[in-house]
Amino acid sequence: MKYVIIGAVAGGASTAARLRRLDEHAEIVIFEKGEYISYANCGLPYYIGDVIKDRNALFVQTAASFNQRFNIDVRTLTEITAINTDTKTVTALNQTTGKEYEESYDKLVLSPGAEPIRPPLPGILNEGIFTLRNVADTDYIKGYVQQQRVKKAIVIGGGFIGLEMAENLHDLGLAVTIIEMGSQILAPLDFPIAAIVQQHIRSKGVNLLLNSAVTAFEKNGAGLKVLLKNGEALDADIVIMSIGVKPDTRLAIKAGIKIGDARGIWVNEFLQTSNPDIYAVGDAIEFSNPITNTSMNTYLAGPANKQGRICANNMVLGNNHPYHGAINTAIVKVFDMTVATAGMASKHLTNAGIKHLVSTTHGGSHASYYPGAKQMSIQIAFSPEDGRLLSAQIAGFDGVDKRIDILSSVIKRNSNIYELTEFEHAYAPPFSSAKDPINMAGYVAENILQDRLRIFYWNQLDTLTHDDLLLDVRTHEEFIAGNIPNAINIPIDELRGRLKEIDPNKNIYIYCLGGLRGYLAQRILRQNSYDKVWNMSGGYQLWEPCTNEIKSS
């Protein structure tokens, strides 16, 4: 059996290695149009920022070592220009010699990845404007920063790569501006969690411009001018374009392979394309979203590597290993913070017509009495019918990674918030609390579903009227330090003795710092014949960054 693989980074290299482990005698040829294979794409920004000092550390395998270990014919700097499905051959162009030739296959794997979006803006081809997708891009950017002695950088796009680049350029001592066309950074997040991270970015002295569109670039001496739709012009010595990627489907389209609704290569549950002898993995494919059952793409290394293994299993052993899709679990370091997401944001669930409730809780990375505990904010979305967990988002400083992995597992297994209440974690004061933030998120969600807790959200305050009561149950000192306008202050510990000050005929909206004291206040009031009582999800700790961000935008 002869296998030909197009693309040798994450999905392609993973497929090739698994094929060899399953079949020692198969002929395996892997083509890569770039110079390098199997490199750590996600580590590229950190090499530019000198966090990773050794360039060679980026390479999991070289073409030579891959060949030696796996006996695989690796052909770098060779681009596949056509697939002939009738003759089962591919046309290869050796970019070094210019020679073109054909290679036959029994089974073919497409792993062409995705390509950066570069809109046809005036001046976009000027020197000093880069995208970051591969090792060559990394070398160009790093060399340019060093040789040109740049001082001002503009990053266009507030996604994962854009934020990583902004941080690393900032750490090199550059003045950094992030320009984002949308109303927030990190589109997979809902605004409240994004707002927390945006406030942190601004605290680092980074200029963050939201709702801002770039219209053109101009040369400005040795530097550049970035022109915005609102008429502003910003100076820059280097520009990083990071506005997204799109599946590279050019070969598939030319070969008559089916393209799906999400404009990626369509594959079935076994990662087989519309041609039974051709499979596909990685950024170029689309598959069914496990939550909505609609077509989706994902541009993450984790799913690509897992798809490679599954793809090889199905080609060698027969189609008996289905791929169950991805819920886009992702994490990113943003200066001192970590932000992570899994599943579908509330805004996307709403757009898909999926009923859900949202709850935000705050908790410590470990026991508060043990030194160094840091706060994290956890937002979950879940079904009002059965508590099925649909999404999770976390912003914090420590321990975010292990919590998102737990929540991702619950989402992927179609499990519910009740599992969170009983989740058994390893506990010792340096690592967690007896009730972990995961448990607390589950407890709050359970209380909501069982009507022990009625919530409202920070952005619903505008709907309150003079006939409603906004009640702050924090201490007097906290209230004086900062409060929501028009609130009255009755600390939770004084509430039972001051019930006569509260009109039972009014709608009562309670808030505290994070939500716990507000919940306790609601339980007191509702058990004293106050029926119209709600508690603000996430509390003042969520309201403050959200309202500050609205003022900044």
**DSSP secondary structure letters along 406-429:** HHHHHHHTT-BHHHHHH------T
Collect all residues with Cβ–Cβ distance below 8 Å to 219 and sequence separation of at least 6: 123, 126, 225
Q: Which two tokens stand for residue 475?
A: 């201490």
368: left (phi over 0), alpha (psi -120 to 50) or beta: alpha
Collect all residues with Cβ–Cβ distance below 8 Å to 348 and sequence separation of at least 6: none
Of the residues 42, 311, 512, 546, only one is catalytic, namely: 42
Give the C-alpha separation, 68 to 179, whole Å.
Answer: 45
DSSP bridge partners of 92: 80, 101
Collect all residues with Cβ–Cβ distance below 8 Å to 417 and sequence separation of at least 6: 380, 382, 387, 389, 441, 442, 445, 446, 449
Q: Which two tokens stand for residue 99?
A: 């020679």
Burial of 428 (0-12, 13-18, 19+ CB in 10 A): exposed
DSSP 431: T
Give the C-alpha separation, 325 to 169, whole Å.
Answer: 35
Pick from 368, 520, 497, 357: which is nearest to 441 by CA?
357
Q: Which two tokens stand for residue 14?
A: 């993973």
What are the C-alpha distances in Å from 48 to residues 203, 268, 311, 401, 523? Answer: 23, 38, 33, 24, 53
Three-state DSSP state, 226: strand
Helix (H) or strand (E) holding 207, with range, is: strand 207-209
Give the C-alpha separation, 447 to 516, whole Å.
Answer: 12
Q: CB neighbours (10 Å) of residue 459?
A: 13
Three-state DSSP state, 547: helix
Based on C-alpha coordinates, what's the Rg of the chain?
27
Give the C-alpha separation, 258 to 393, whole Å.
Answer: 34
* Helix ranges, 245-287 (H): 250-254
Give the C-alpha separation, 480 to 116, whole Å.
Answer: 50
What are the C-alpha distances in Å from 215 to residues 165, 181, 225, 243, 553? Answer: 21, 11, 11, 14, 19
Give the C-alpha separation, 395 to 545, whole Å.
Answer: 12
Residue 546 is a catalytic residue: no
Catalytic residues: 42
